[in-house]
Homo-oligomer: A and B are copies of this chain.
């Protein structure tokens, strides 16, 4: 069996390792070479209001884009073509970043305080969920011109009209958005296909604080701050209303102080099981995805924040809350055992898998570093310098419902 050229093929890897950590970023806007966008991404630099444009094939930083405002808790969605990232800032800023030129294409301050957003299935609309003044605003993805303003109006128990904070905003099939009303205890769907946006309202549990949608866009699940359990809406059968799942799940089972409520977006579904961060416990919970009954508890080294399955569902990667947040643990989804404890740096905030799952990028805020691991060897293959990095978002999200 003739085999040749392996050494040569390894060279790009060595080169990539050699150039990581390079500080000399090219100035924004001087890029004219043609480039595919499928292996690009953005890393949030939360303290400096900037983002890094990165390349996952070369493990390299292409440019730094500045002037994005308050990026604590920022997130990103992508245009259909993967060229533009829409960055949702905490200060209500919505910034359209051009990854090819490393510049800001459009930017608006759309509210006083926002908490994430989504892009519609057809790519034409960007929706943002707001704390102040609450509600959801929808923008043209091309120009960021306003398209619709959806106040989250409700009536308090005492009869007074009020406006609710909105959270857990995701896109859903049929060009819909789904989000939760923290103050109103409701889940709303917003249909953007009609001549006017059409809203449907569903009563949820007490104080939904975050939400996720399953990868096929069928189930919307909201975490509850005010009671145990989770509220689930089956978007294939909205007439059936909200179902309560995992009734014992939540703060009620807490025996330790909760340093951070777990993120819902990171929930892992693998092999018919859901892997869920326990609230306040040093455990990952295992639920049967068919009936959402609790089937197991996996001991881990701290309070889990993100619990994410690798794209091949073989591994569950877990990040943790302060003060045990300098460690990532990897669980085998078959044996349910921790197979590796990694130390990517201080204050690990986020993880992002490459779309086919060969590598995962991990940000360590207080080490000013992003580490790339091989999911096969569980060893680091590259590190990149970044200023207080938090969220990592690859353009493959453009092709994924709910991301």
Contact = CB atoms under 8 A, between A and B. Distances in A.
A36 B3 contact: no
A23 interface: no
Contacts of A151: 1
Nearest to A119: B356
B358 A122 contact: yes
A148 interface: yes
Contacts of A82: 36-39, 82
A313 B36 contact: no
Main secondary structure of the interface of A (DSSP, over half): loop
B9 A140 contact: yes
Contact of A38 (B5, B145, B314, B399): B399
B81 A39 contact: yes
A173 interface: yes
Contact of A197 (B3, B56, B81, B193): B3
Interface string A364-403: 0000000000001000000000000000000110111100
A357 B175 CA distance: 10
A78 interface: yes
Nearest to A6: B195
Contacts of A197: 1, 3
Interface string A145-165: 111111100000000000000
A350 interface: no
Interface centre among A9, A100, A376 (most CB of B within 10 A): A9
Residues of A in contact with B, size category: 35 or more
A401 B354 CA distance: 11
Contacts of A171: 356
A107 interface: no
A123 interface: yes
A297 interface: no
B1 A121 contact: no
A216 interface: yes
A53 to B, nearest CB: 13
Contact of A3 (B5, B148, B175, B311): B148
A355 B357 CA distance: 18
Given A32-B34, A57-B123, A175-B358, 9 more contacts: A1-B148, A5-B147, A6-B196, A9-B124, A31-B34, A36-B37, A36-B80, A36-B84, A173-B312
> 8 closest Cβ contacts across the A-B interface?
A36-B83, A38-B82, A36-B81, A355-B399, A173-B312, A396-B399, A39-B81, A36-B37
Interface of A: 1-6, 8-9, 31-32, 34-40, 56-57, 78-84, 99-101, 121-124, 140, 145-151, 171, 173-175, 193, 195-197, 216-218, 236, 311-314, 334, 355-358, 376, 395-396, 398-401
25 contacts: A1-B148, A3-B148, A6-B147, A6-B196, A9-B147, A32-B32, A34-B100, A35-B83, A36-B100, A37-B81, A38-B79, A38-B81, A38-B398, A121-B356, A121-B358, A173-B311, A173-B314, A173-B357, A173-B358, A175-B358, A175-B376, A216-B312, A236-B334, A311-B401, A312-B401
